[in-house]
Amino acid sequence: MNEQTTDAAVKADIEAEARVREYYEVNTRLFLRFGFERETMTIHRAVWAKGIWHRRDALNYTNQLALDAMREGIGDGPAEVIDLGCGVGGSLLYYAGRTPENWRGVGVTISPSQARTAMRNAVARRFHHRLKFIEASYLDLPVPPGFDAAVAIESLIHASDLGQALREAARVLRPGGRLVVIDDFLLFPPPADATPWWRGFRGYWHANSPRSVDDFAALAASAGLRLIERRDLTSNLRLIWLPKWLANAMLRVGLALPRSLPLVESQVGGLALQTGYLDGWLEYAFLVFEKAGGDAPEAALQPAGQAAQK
């Protein structure tokens, strides 16, 4: 890349990140007010796995999956955990409530108001001595290496430079540390008639780095993170099926509305996301990576493509 292309790429990254920041600055309060997420303080999908009957448990399902995967790597010892794209702190608050005092966490969000709300939540629940929330980008983490685990729930899809985000995650993890990712992934190729839906997903959901699990894992591998577990959670999402004509009409109306109106982007993006699942070009997956250099169990030492499918 010559200097001009590099400058243009950096500028595009900065602009994409600014749009994501703005999106969460405008919408977070509304998500918490209308999304029934005040109790869990999560801004992510409810997963209705077998045996889950309450929305609170469905919202905490991915938190618990991530906690189990991190614990498996950390054992009973003290732990430093970093949440890359922490929202208003739901995941770290959940871990703090279920781990000993020697588990500590740092949450990073691009949205300053989310960082403030998360910190207030930590104070209200008396976890402020164990949890810290900061406004920062996961592309350039203002923390030294040494974390035992990192978690990223529905946040890396927004990365303007996914390779850089994964390199930063790898940098801050100690050898053998784990990265848990739960997010939307592409099932290639998205059908051609998905184009307006694709636009809704890419543009309105701020899906800046849509990848298949295999591509994501290859990028992670080049950052030094090996995929050791993958699980498809798509069948546990509750999707609202709409006749195609109605979904198309709703999308057309949504795309015609001013994007600056609160909830327009999230509703259009959410509609596109649902269509992606129903039409089979998206999957919601849980991935666990391990940084080389720890006492990895044998099962962890296989190529990314052969990672354990549960």
Contact residues toward ligand SAM (CB under 6 A) are 17, 20, 24, 42-44, 85-87, 90-91, 108-111, 114, 137-139, 153-155, 158
Helix (H) or strand (E) holding 30: helix 3-34
Q: In what order do the strands lie in the sheet with 79-84?
A: 131-135, 103-109, 79-84, 147-153, 173-186, 282-291, 225-232, 308-309
If the CB atoms of residues 283 and 300 are measured against ligand SAM, the closer one turns out to be 283
If the CB atoms of residues 22 and 215 are measured against ligand SAM, the closer one turns out to be 22
If the CB atoms of residues 286 and 304 are measured against ligand SAM, the closer one turns out to be 286
If the CB atoms of residues 108 and 285 are measured against ligand SAM, the closer one turns out to be 108
Q: Provide, rounded to whole angstroms, the least separation between the CB of residue 109 and ligand SAM.
A: 4
If the CB atoms of residues 180 and 307 are measured against ligand SAM, the closer one turns out to be 180
The whole-angstrom separation of Cα 228 and Cα 299 is: 7
The whole-angstrom separation of Cα 17 and Cα 242 is: 32
Q: Provide, rounded to whole angstroms, the least separation between the CB of residue 105 and ligand SAM.
A: 12
Active site residue 154: yes
Gap between the terminal Cα atoms of the chain: 41
Per-residue H/E/C for 95-119? HHCCCCCCEEEEEEECCHHHHHHHH
The whole-angstrom separation of Cα 300 and Cα 228 is: 5
How many Å separate Cα 53 from the centre of its chain?
24
Q: Provide, rounded to whole angstroms, the least separation between the CB of residue 181 and ligand SAM.
A: 11
Q: Provide, rounded to whole angstroms, the least separation between the CB of residue 298 and ligand SAM.
A: 31
Tell me, what amino acid is at 34?
F
The catalytically annotated residue of 17, 80, 154, 265 is 154
* Backbone conformation region of residue 49, classed left if phi is above 0, alpha if psi is from -120 to 50, else beta: beta
3-state secondary structure of 200: helix
Helix (H) or strand (E) holding 215: helix 213-222
Q: Provide, rounded to whole angstroms, the least separation between the CB of residue 286 and ligand SAM.
A: 13
**Residues labelled catalytic:** 154
